[in-house]
Amino acid sequence: MPPSDPPPSLPADVTLAETLDRVLETGAVLRGDVVITVADVDLLYLDLRVLLSAVDTAVEHGAAAPSPQPSASASNE
């Protein structure tokens, strides 16, 4: 079977910058589990969730905007 052509609305070549721009514009959620086991005993379980998005996109969809952190030099004064 010959390879199918991409749909006409999608470009044939997509650069990394274009892909990153699209992910930041729309957002992406990555989720994974890590379990460290020794001798069939679960020692550590990590439930990992990562939201990758531009701040403007996250705020637009209801995520709280990050608050500015005080600098170390400001606390020494």
Q: What pLDDT sits at residue 37?
A: 93
Burial class (CB in 10 A: 0-12, 13-18, 19+), 10: exposed
In a domain, 53, yes or no: yes
φ, ψ for residue 55 (rounded to 5)?
-60, -45
Residue range 31-38: mean pLDDT, rounded: 92
Q: What pLDDT sits at residue 32?
A: 93
Residue range 33-38: mean pLDDT, rounded: 93
40-71, pLDDT tens digit by residue?
998 999 998 888 888 777 777 777 666 777 76
Q: What percent of the chain has pLDDT over 70?
A: 70
Q: How far apart are the C-alpha atoms of 61 and 8, rounded to whole Å?
A: 30
Q: How far apart are the C-alpha atoms of 53 and 35, rounded to whole Å?
A: 27
> What is the 8-class DSSP label of residue 19?
H
In a domain, 77, yes or no: no
Q: What pLDDT sits at residue 62?
A: 76
In a domain, 1, yes or no: no
Q: What pLDDT sits at residue 65?
A: 61
24 Cβ contact partners less than 8 Å away, ≥ 6 residues apart:
52, 53, 54, 57
In a domain, 41, yes or no: yes
Domain count, the chain: 1
Which domain does 51 fall in, by range?
Answer: 16-61
